[in-house]
Structure 1
């Protein structure tokens, strides 16, 4: 089971013309614990405020005429929801999105503002998926999964291609990637390891929601019974996907966790020092990089993915130190 480089390049070339590249941002004083410079791939600045627009846009671009006519449905805690809503609306396709009451209200409002019909499920990734699959079957909608879909993963993989192009002859020693259901890291890792296998790919998730780390150690998918209390709502997915996990096992070098205080600190530092608004789920990679003692070659830098910026000012302010 693999994500071919030909599929990744096709998605990357299409999305380069459709969306453009996200910025690569450096902050002079940002270093890992082993003193490697840190650069940020600012996916938070993409349309709808996250990397999810890539997978949604590529997936919808590949739909057949019949699939378009039937409309699409997705399930999400917010970022995939907004991305599918916008990508569908841009193509004149009806979109229904399954969300849940634990999702921040601002993400629900934004999804509706893009023209989608929002339907509520119980607050777990399992419940959202089950309702979306049921509605797809009963109404004939085309399901666009948030991560466990080859086209979605190919779209997210475009980040890896783009990052290596931006770095030119000086690729990063490592890339730190947030993990929810695994679509982002599976795609990015597949791209990077097939193009620049010497680059380490490190997954990051909250310590309270560490199912991917446990799965990698166990060699099988380990699922959490219920969502955790982590602030990182965008990546609170209780297990990785059946399609994403084999790619994670094949291409990802390690998965590390960060605690809630480290996540909040990373959000603050993004805002105060890089002038970027990054939500908790998008900030976990920076939190891990600050703590990383990964040995890298002299002068080499590491990259972190700031994968989402959909957080309100009020919530961001709540992460301030007492």
Structure 2
């Protein structure tokens, strides 16, 4: 469910449009299987391979480098950082030009701060205490940081005195960060008790499902991430007032269609408000809890973000030092 499911939905939509069968899918148990699983699709003769998540970026880059005739779409993997030889650059000097060195590797990125901004507007609008929270999966996740940076600025646009409390599930363990709902629920419950927030934004994948469960148990509002979590995670729909969305299926299906049409370019493929690549989810059963004028404010803000007239990220965008400790 969530991020991976909606990414796969994009691949299925593209296949259906092209008259192809549903593509196969494999979910790794842990990071040790990433390269093996991607290589498995290479060995089966696929000429377009989609990988999901920024933690898949290094593995995708390696396999793309070794297989220059195959198209790879890496979701949340842009912009790709490579050496002058086109290999993953762990030093982050990024001396290589990925679009030249890996011309068939499409690394999708999103302007997470824009979606976070809209979620922050809603959080400040429904908060009664003036204290809202955000839990990120791991401090190494740039997209997670940008989501929360936008969330803070959006909340401040509604209430300049809003207090934001931020915590991170882990600093090093990707499984615990994004694939451990039990840890997420325990972490979320402790965070709520300690910080007394009345709206909580989860930016932690499946771990964050547990955070939403904790929000529901505490009787506060939760905000989902990446997809409409009131639909993708119905267990917490009763308290999920919106979600900060990436239009994952749209980006993947569009890029596959462009590859088939011969118009797709390699390198960073950036999706933002101008491309309708981000947004916020409907309020569903909690619509009555939202101020009557808020949807109009959100839609107006979205139009301004599209036009470039609202700043949704601080100057140090993606820098965790800008966020509350």
TM-score bucket of the superposed structures, by smaller chain = 0.3 to 0.5
TM-score norm. by structure 1 comes to 0.34
Q: Rg: which structure is higher?
A: 2
- Structure number with higher relative contact order (C-alpha < 8 Å, ≥ 6 residues apart): 1
